[in-house]
Chain A
Amino acid sequence: MSLTVNSVALNSLPSVKHKKSKAIIQPDVSEKPLTMSRPSAKLLQVYFTGKVNKPETILGTANVQEREAIQAFGKQYVDFLEKAKTNLSAVHEILKMARANGYKEFNPDEKVKPGDKVYFVNNDRAVVLSTIGNNPIASGVKIIGSHLDSPCITLKAKPLQDSEGFCIFKTMVHGGIKRNHWVNRHLALEGKVVKKDGTEVKINVGNKQNENTFIIPDLAPHVESDKTKSTRGMEFDAEQLNPVVALNTDMEGKISDYVEKILKEKYGIDKNDLLNAELHLVPAENPRGVGFDEGLVGAYGHDDKSAVFANLKAEVDLKNTPAFTTVSAFFGNEEIGSYNNYGAKSEFFGGVIGSLIENQKGSFNENDMRRAMKKSLALSADVSTAVDPIQPKHEEKTNACRLGQGVIMKLQGWRNSIPEATATVTNLFRNNDVKFQPFAYHQDMGGGATIGVYLATNYNLDVVDIGIPILSMHAPVEIADKGDVYHLYKGMKAFMNSDHIKMPIKKPD
């Protein structure tokens, strides 16, 4: 139903109403398009001399060969994104790829030797791949860390509820989202249920084209004129993000009973089994290209599967035995503070390095690991916010990052990394033609964290924060550039293949 009797298009509505209803769902493009989208020429000139309005992007300047490489890589990346929406499915995909490339589960009873490829899994939710190098692990390792979880909506333990004749799922939010992004979206249900007898049931509904999806309904603008007064992004209570599950049945009793019956028939699970379940609602849409562009990809979970995939590819592509052991760590739960036994704060990671040292050395104590960590270098790979063409003022342009400009390095003070460590990485990138750009948040507007600082603090490691820039972070569809992901992969490969861990620093006399 339209707002007007004649059911005309929104555009022809009286201007006041038009603005109000528009403000809910669209950015205020119409306000001041000219001044807002103009990249402050003066400031840009400093670093992009001569290219005020169109800085050179990776794909824009690539030769045919590199362009093909980026597109081939981009295709694999997009496939990965499609299959690896949740933490669980990402681990599944990583292990599939690792096994296909000769990785074996680490066995403490078998001595590892240079060139061996091993993996460690933790609770199906975190995984570490490692290629053993020629130098002993005690002389330091090269670590890359990223996270597998993306913001999503998770079912509560008693999700099935009746409301106004509908059956709905009661939910909770995983990670920091703008709630209005997640309503009126096709959502898929993914995860696992552990039954009373200990059998595990996998659930995956809505990701295939012909499958039904779940949708969190929103009110029509007609009945909710005061919504425009709410703070942006917070029009919804977290408790209102509940999708519609069923309405029609000829079965007697409650509609939720009917859904339970379907679950029983289809998956052999009953309501009580849902107490021991991890079920996530994720966008059902699959990645698509964006605009008239060869590089832009709109997809769910660039944060942080871009780094996951780049790291995974760099790791499995290691054909020669590296000088130093590589450790590619993929963690869960970053979006909720890296907690729990599969988050980056978990002892799990220390256990991995500890097991490897013990395996090589025959004995182990914590100080052995500490000495190894002191010689190691870690890259924490996670996305950063990029300059938005419509609302650029949320970034401080001189030190912000831009899509297509390459790998970002988060340089936000000593919390991130010390220059002695970052110099190793910039040196490596420069020598291997990896395009990179520094990044710092707008000091009065931005803020965010990643796993880097926990690795640095908990393991006394030198950590450098890298990643790719993206638009619309934490929305169901985020925008990234293939060229950036490819250069992230290139940078990681260069890091793994180099013959040293840290660049020697010449101290002043």
Chain B
Amino acid sequence: MRINNVINFTALKPEKLNDKKNVTFQGVENPSKLAKPSADLMKVYFTGTKPIWSNSDSTKKQSIMDFAEKYKDFLNISKTDMQAVESMVQRAKEKGFKPWPDDVPEMLLKPGDKLYRVNRDRSVALIVIGKKPLTEGFKMAGSHIDSPHIMLKAKPLQDASGGFAIFKTMVHGGIKAHQWTQRNLALVGKVVTNDGREIKVDIGNNPGDPVLMIPELAPHVDRDSSTPIGKAFPKEKLNPIVGLNIPEDESKKVSDQVAGILEEKYGITKDDLMNAQLALVPAQMARDVGLDRSMLSGYGHDDKSSAFCSMEGLLEACDKSGGVPERTIIAAAFSNEEIGSYNNHGAQSDDTRAMISEAIEFTTGNYNENLVRKAFKNSILLSADVSTAIDPMRPDAEEATNSAKLGYGPSVYKNGPLFSTPEASARFDSTQDGVQTQRFAFNQDKGGGGTIGNYLATQNNTDVIDTGIPVIGMHAPLELISKSDLYEHKESLKNYYLREIAF
């Protein structure tokens, strides 16, 4: 989920409001009271609602734990968008999916055909053609596979004081900078050489690999605690150390030595780094959290959890419908959500519409824009993305009555008219019997964020429901989720794909 520039609705000071006697904060004398996880208020909505785990029988409990293991394997090899595309294509191939044709195929696509469609190695969609024509409506869950990270600039390799060589970097997405210091970071991505060879880079994810680290000062020498945290960690200082050893040839610099290693090991020169997409991502792998192993920590739950759940949900729905679903079902994973869904591989790209246009053309041989409009108009799509959750230590950041709690199921955003109409969310609910979900809205004074949902809705005139699992510590190098939410999210998506909308 992307951070918005939060519009400050509280520009009017409360004191001023209080001057006017007819304006009062209804029933709340001290607003801070509202923000506390007031047990009384929560009871109203959670009476009788138990966490998923305590509602589950032993078979389901086993499934929850097994599903989490599969997810961990996926997450550990899918840290960047390009890696996620690779592992999703791999999984699709295993299940018999074929690549999407470039042009109208000689044999038109028919119900039951399973295909994967890759855009520039950075976004991917799994598509199963259904019995009904797309123009009567299709099912698509869109998620995103980019997670906040630090990336290298075009001339990254520089010498810094103390005899170090460093990488100069930029930030992708909204992060709290201090969380990324003193972490083992892996370097993942690709370099395109001047003669057009593509070279994969993946350093730090294997146990024997070296890692990179952005240094932070010791508390002993950094006692000025009055600096605001945002100022204490400017983005230009998020530069990892990449080398220290002085070359034997003293006329050379440390950065030259590092450049030599790059050349020797990967055959890339310093100049080649200008055409590179290299991301620094946490080297840590996903782990179970809690003595009850009920939770998972890992990098990139936002939003690989949804990418994985939509993929697995689609595969299960496909199997359950005997390989030929009623409607065409699509699990689409986009990139660049964290920077506004821009560029040709973001959800705003015309490629999203191209996918549906081609699906219509490739299944019927017939196509015009109005058919695409009809298809979107007759569909309810999902924007599958994570939500924030109540943090046990700082519950004030959420508005307790309408926020999400770990373990109570995927959240469905009800954050005002931007996200979905009640007609659409009620229709979505009609596919969700037996699935436990919860409603979610940001604290209106403190929170804010967007997903791909409103772009899908605006650009294509379609109904979109925003749904995803609650996450604690979103956008940190390690985020925390509940295993049962993850499983329930998959169930929720499966049912969306499988069941007809009732009205």
B120 contacts the other chain (CB 8 A): yes
A442 touches B236 (CB 8 A): yes
Q: Which of A106-114, A147-155, A456-464 contacts B (4 or more CB under 8 A)?
A: A456-464
Considering only residues 28-59 of chain A, those with a C-beta below 8 Å from chain B are 42-43, 45-47
- For residue B117, which residues in chain A have a CB less than 8 angstroms away from its CB? none
* In-complex Cβ contact of B103 among A371, A412, A453 (8 A): A371
What residues on B are CB-neighbors of A367 within 8 Å? 354, 357-358, 361, 367
Chain B neighbourhood of A494, CB < 8 A:
none
The reply on B48 being an interface residue by CB < 8 A is no
| Cβ-based interface call for A27 (8 A) | no
Interface status of A180 (Cβ within 8 A of chain B):
no
Contact with B along A357-368 (1 / 0, CB 8 A): 000000001110
At the interface, yes or no: A292 with Cβ under 8 Å from chain B?
A: no
CA distance A506 to B358 in the complex (A): 27
In the complex, the answer to whether A508 meets B199 with C-beta atoms within 8 Å is yes
The minimal Cβ–Cβ distance linking B146 to chain A, given in whole angstroms, is 8
Q: How far is the CA of A12 from the CA of B190 in the complex (A)?
A: 61
Beta-carbon contact of A507 and B350 below 8 Å: no
1/0 contact string of A457-480 vs chain B (CB within 8 Å): 111111100000000000000000
Q: Is A177 located at the chain interface by the 8 A CB criterion? A: no
**CB within 8 Å for A506 and B159 given contacts A419-B192, A457-B344:** no
When the two chains form their complex, are residues B274 and A422 in contact, meaning their CB atoms are under 8 A apart?
yes
The answer to the question of A97 belonging to the interface, with a C-beta cut-off of 8 Å to chain B, is no
Please indicate the chain A residues that have their CB under 8 angstroms from the CB of B196 in the complex. 423, 427, 503-506
Q: Does B277 contact A (CB under 8 A)?
A: yes
B177 to A: closest C-beta gap in Å = 10
Q: Is A460's CB under 8 angstroms from B354's CB?
A: yes
User: In angstroms, how far is the closest chain B Cβ from the Cβ of A376?
Assistant: 11
Stretch of B3-11, B90-98, B150-158 on the interface side = B150-158
Q: Are B354 and A505 in contact (CB under 8 A)?
A: no
Taking residues whose C-beta sits less than 8 angstroms from the other chain, chain A's interface range is 35 or more
Find out whether the CB atom of A419 lies under 8 angstroms from the CB atom of B342.
no
- A62 within 8 A of partner (CB): no
- Given A398-B168, A427-B196, A418:B277 Cβ within 8 A: yes
Task: Tell whether, in the assembled complex, residue B172 and residue A508 are in contact, meaning their CB atoms are under 8 Å apart.
Answer: no
Report chain B residues within 8 Å CB of A356: none
- Considering the complex, which residues of chain B in the window 343-362 have a beta carbon less than 8 Å from any beta carbon of chain A? 343-346, 348-351, 354, 357-358, 361
- B236 contacts A444, C-beta separation under 8 Å: yes
B336 interface hit (Cβ, 8 Å): yes
In the assembled complex, the Cα of A412 lies from the Cα of B169 at a distance in Å of: 10
Partner of B153, one of A411, A419, A444, A461: A411
B275 touches A440 (CB 8 A): no
Of B102, B192, B235, B348, which one neighbours A423 at CB under 8 angstroms?
Answer: B192
**Interface digits, B252-268 against A, CB 8 Å rule (1 contact, 0 not)?**
01010000000000000
| In the complex, B33 has a CB within 8 A of chain A | no
Contact assessment for A506 and B275 in the assembled complex, using a CB-CB cutoff below 8 Å: no
Taking CB atoms and an 8 Å cut-off, the chain B residues in 269-305 that contact chain A are 274-277
Select which of B103, B235, B342, B367 is within 8 A of A457 by beta carbon.
B342
- Measured between beta carbons, the chain B residues less than 8 angstroms from A463 are 344
CA A503 – CA B361 in complex, angstroms? 29
**Which B residues are CB-close (under 8 A) to A365?**
367-369
Q: Which residue of B171, B194, B372 has the most chain A CB atoms within 10 A of its CB atom?
A: B194
Could you give, for residues 199-240 of chain B, a 1 whenever the CB lies within 8 Å of some chain A CB and a 0 otherwise? 110000000000000000000000000000000001110000
CB distance from A155 to the nearest CB of B (A): 31
Residues in B whose Cβ lies below 8 Å from that of A398: 153, 155, 158, 168
Asked if B122 is at the interface (CB within 8 A of a chain A CB), the reply is: yes
Given the known interface contacts A414-B339, A423-B196, A444-B236, the answer about A457 and B350 at a Cβ–Cβ threshold of 8 Å is yes
Q: How far is the CB of B490 from chain A (nearest CB, A)?
A: 28
Partner pick for B151 among A409, A413, A442, CB 8 A cutoff: A413
Contact assessment for B275 and A426 in the assembled complex, using a CB-CB cutoff below 8 Å: yes
Nearest chain B CB to A467 CB, angstrom units: 15
Contacts of B153 on A, CB cut-off 8 Å? 398-399, 411, 438, 440
Known: A399-B155, A442-B236. A415 touches B342 (CB 8 A): yes
> In angstroms, how far is the closest chain B Cβ from the Cβ of A61?
19
Chain A residues contacting B122 (CB-CB under 8 Å) are 414, 418
Q: Is A419 touching B277 in the complex (CB atoms < 8 A)?
A: yes
Q: B residues 57-114 with Cβ under 8 Å of A?
A: 102-103
Which A residues lie within 8 Å of B151 (CB)? Answer: 413-414
**Complexed CA–CA distance, A469 and B120 (Å):** 30
CB distance from A167 to the nearest CB of B (A): 37
Of B122, B157, B158, most A-chain CB atoms within 10 Å: B158
Q: Is the CB of B103 within 8 A of A461?
A: no
User: Is A443 interfacial (CB 8 A cutoff)?
Assistant: yes
State how many angstroms separate the Cβ of B405 from the closest Cβ of chain A.
34
Could you tell me the distance in whole angstroms from the C-beta of A51 to the nearest C-beta in chain B? 16
Contacts of B198 in A (CB 8 A): 420, 505-508
A42 CA to B162 CA, complexed, in Å: 12
Q: B335 contacts the other chain (Cβ, under 8 Å)?
A: yes
Q: Residue B191 at the A interface, CB < 8 A?
A: yes
Query: Cβ of B13 < 8 Å from any Cβ of A?
Result: no
Q: Is B394 an interface residue (CB 8 A)?
A: no
By beta carbon, the residue of chain B nearest A444 is B234
Residue of A nearest to B166 (CB): A398
A414 touches B335 (CB 8 A): yes
Given that A366-B357, A396-B236, A505-B192 are contacting pairs, would A443 and B342 also be in contact in the complex, using a CB cutoff of 8 Å?
A: no
Query: Are A443 and B236 in touch, CB under 8 angstroms?
Result: yes
Distance in Å: Cβ of B271 to nearest Cβ of chain A: 8
Q: How far is the CB of B167 from chain A (nearest CB, A)?
A: 10
- A370 at the B interface (CB under 8 A): yes
| Distance of A396 Cα from B198 Cα, bound (Å) | 29
- For this complex, 15 residue pairs linking A to B, each with C-beta atoms less than 8 Å apart, are A43-B158, A45-B159, A365-B369, A370-B354, A370-B358, A398-B168, A411-B154, A414-B277, A414-B343, A415-B340, A418-B277, A420-B120, A422-B274, A438-B274, A508-B200
Binding site for B on A (CB under 8 A): 42-43, 45-47, 365-367, 370-371, 373, 396, 398-399, 409, 411-416, 418-420, 422-423, 426-427, 430, 438-440, 442-444, 453, 456-463, 503-508
Can you name 6 extra interface pairs (CB under 8 A) apart from A370-B350, A426-B274, A443-B170?
A46-B159, A367-B367, A399-B153, A414-B336, A418-B345, A422-B275
Chain B residues within 8 Å of A, Cβ to Cβ:
102-103, 120, 122, 146, 151, 153-155, 157-159, 161, 168, 170-172, 190-200, 234-236, 253, 255, 274-277, 335-336, 339-340, 342-346, 348-351, 354, 357-358, 361, 367-369, 372
3 smallest CB-CB distances across A and B, nearest first, come from A438-B154, A443-B235, A411-B154
